[in-house]
Structure 1
Amino acid sequence: GRGSPAAEQESPPGSRFVCTSLPLDAAGAGCPLPPVPMQGGALPPEEELKATVLQLRETVLQQKETIGSQREAIRELTGKLSRCEGADGKSAWKNAVGKGKDTMGDLPRDPAQVIDQLSRTMQTLKDRLESLEHQLRANVSYAALPSDLREMLQRRLGDLERQLLSKVAELEDEKSLLHNETSAHRQKTETALNALLERVSELEKGNSAFKAPDEFKVSLPLRTNYLYGKIKKTLPELYAFTVCLWLRSSASPGIGTPFSYAVPGQANEIVLIEWGNNPIELLINDKVAQLPLFISDGKWHHICITWTTRDGMWEAFQDGEKLGTGENLAPWHPIKPGGVLILGQEQ
C-alpha cells in the first residue's frame, strides 16, 4: 500500500529494498548469501553493490557474535578457575602471593623487565595449576573437577604458555637488534673521537709556527717556457677550492706562474701568477684579483688561497696569517672539469 507523505519524502527517489527468506543455518560463518533474484534479468551494478554490502555486514555481525561468545566462554572458564582456587583458603600459593590478584598489569618499557615479568607470570600460572591438582588429590575430591574442565584448563594454560614464549622470543630479538645498533653507533662514535684526539695530540705536540719542508718537490732554476711539472690527475667540477703550497723564490722581477689550470676554451680557468712589478694575481675564468702576498725574498713561505663561486669570495693566507680577502671574482662560475694542471708555466 502507499506510505504516508512523510515517508515518501524521506525515501530517496529510485530506492528499492529486496528481501529474501533464508534458513537459520544458511548464513553461518564463511557461508556466502545466495544471490538475490530479480525480475527482468541481471541486477544493475548499484543493486549488486548493495547486495554485497549487506552480505559483508551480515558476515561482520556473525563474527562479532562469535567473538562475543568466545569471550563469554573465557570469562566463564576464568571464573571456574577462581572458584576452584578459592575452595581452600590455606593454599600454599595464596600464602606466597598475598591478598592481591595475580594479574600482569601494565608491561614495563624496558625489554629486559618485560621478559622477566612475563617469565614470572608464566611460572605463577604453572604453580597455580600444580597447586590446584595437588589440593584435589590430597582432599580425595579430584572427581569434583570434571575431566573436560581440567583438560580445558590445561589447554588454556598451554596456549597461554606458548603465547608468552612467543612474546619472549620477539622481545629477545628486539633486544638483540637494539644491542647491535647501539654497539655500531658506539663504535662509530669512538672511532671519530679517537681520530679527533689523535689530531689534537698532533697539534699540541707540534710547534705553532710553520715549518719549511725538508726538501722541495719541483725545482725550476731558470725562467724558461719549457721547464714545468704536469699533474697526472685532473679536477672534477668545483664550486669552491683551497690551494696550499710551499714556495721559495728570489726571482726578480716576479716569480712567474706557480701553477695554472686550463680547460678546453679557457686557458686561464685557474692561474696564480706574478709578472714584473705587479702583485701576485689570482685568475678565475680569466677574471683577476690581486693578492697581498710577498714571497720573493729567497725564504720558504707557506701560502693558501681559498675561493668560492658564491659571490666570488676569496681569501689569501701567508705563513698562517690571513693577509687579504675580497669578492666578486668570477661569481657563480663553476670550475670546469677535465682540464690540465701545470706547475711552473702558463698555458
Structure 2
Amino acid sequence: IEKVGAAPRALGALASAGPRLTGSTPLFSRFVCTPLSAECPAAAPGPAAAAGPEELLALRSAAAQLRRTALEQKERIRMDQETIRELTGKLSRCEGGLHAAPPAAGLRAAPRPGTMGHPPAEPPAVRELEEAVRALQERIDRIEELPSRPNGSAPTAPALARDALHSKMEQLEEQLLAKILALQKERHAANTDRSQQQHDIEKELNALQNRVAELEHGESPVYSPPDAFKVTIPVQNNYMYARMKKSLPELYAFTICMWLKSKALSGLGTPFSYSVPTQANEIVLLEWGSNPLELLINDKVAQLPLSLKDKAWHHVCVAWTTRDGKWSAYQDGEQRGSGENLASWHAIKPQGVIILGQEQDTLGGRFDATQAFVGELAHFAVWDHMLAPAEILALANCTSHLQGNVIQWDDQAVEVFGGASKAAFTACDDGRKA
C-alpha cells in the first residue's frame, strides 16, 4: 500500500476556512509495505541443507520468530487501517460543512501541517511499524542470501558418518554375496565328488569281485582276444547289470546279435535295453513272466517266436528297418519269425544308454527285479543295417568273425555293476559245449 487515507483536494480550503481541531491526531499517513511470505523458505539444497544441526535449529527459531512478528505487524496494520477509515469519515463530514459555508472574503488561510505546503508528520506507531517491517525484510534477505558451501569444502561430520556407514554396508553385502557363491560352489563340488566317489567305489568293488572270481576259478585277468569274455549275472535283482560305454547314433535300421544263456526259473527277463531321454523303451528285448519274448521299438511291440529257457547257450539276432517297420528274429542262425509295421518310419534316437541284464524305466536306471535277466551274456554287437540271413548263420556257426560296425564286444567297452562279473569265454568252443 503506497498511500493510505490520502487527503482530498478540498483540504486546502478546509485549512484556510476554519481553525484546526484541537487534540486530533494527524489526518494523513504514508505506509510502505513489503510483501512477506508466511512461511520460512523451504529447506532446499543450499545453505540450510549443508548446515549442521545447531544451524538448522537456529534457522527454525528465527523463522518462528519472524512468523510471530509478521502476525503482530499484520494486526497493528489492521488497527491502523480502522483508525484511518474513521478519520477519513470525519474528514468527509467536515469537507461537506465547508462547502456549505465558504470562508469570508479577504481572509487567507495559513498553511497547516498536512496541506500541500507542509507534508503531514508520520505518527510514531507508523514509523515503528515501518522499522519493524524493514528489519523483518532484512532478516529474510540474510537468510535467503546465505552463501552455499563450496563444492570443494570438507563435508560435515554427519555426512562423513553417513558415507562411512554406506561404505561399510556395501562391503558387508559384497562379503555376504561372495560367501553365498562360495557355499553354492562347495555344495555343487560336494555333490559331484559324492557321485564320483560312489561310481569309483562301485568300480573298485566290481574289480575286487572279478579278481576273487578269477582266483577261485584259476582264471587269468587278461583276456586274449579282447572279445573272449562273458558277463555273468548270478541272481535276479535290480542292481546287477552291465553297461556299454558307447552309445548308438541315429539309426534307420539295425541288427543286434548276442550269445546268451538263461538261468531264470520263469521268463527270460531283459537281455538288453536301450533308453534315450525322451523314450525309456527305445529298443528292448524282454520276456516277462508268462508273456512271450517281445521286441519293443519306440514302445511298439512285436512278439518273437523264440525259445531260450532251456538253460543252454543260444545265438540270438534281431533285425529291423524303419521302412515299413520290417523285422526278423533268428535263433542259432535260423530265422524263426518276421513281420512288418513295427514303429514304421521311426528313426532310432541317438545318445542313449545301453544296459545288459536290466530293463530301464528311466534313462540308465529305475530297474525292476522281476524284469531282470539271470544268466550269462557274450558277444553283444550292433550293425547299422539288416544283416543277410547267410551272415547271421555264419556268425552262429562260428565260420565268420564279423564285428559290429556300431557296437563291438570288447572288454574295455563293458562295465559291470552290483556284483555282475566278467569271466573268460570263447563262444565257438564253450558255446557249443554247453
- Scaled by the length of structure 1, the TM-score of the pair is 0.38
Largest Rg, 1 or 2? 2
**Larger RCO, structure (CA 8 Å, separation 6 or more):** 2
- Scaled by the length of structure 2, the TM-score of the pair is 0.30
Give the structure with the higher percent helix.
Answer: 1
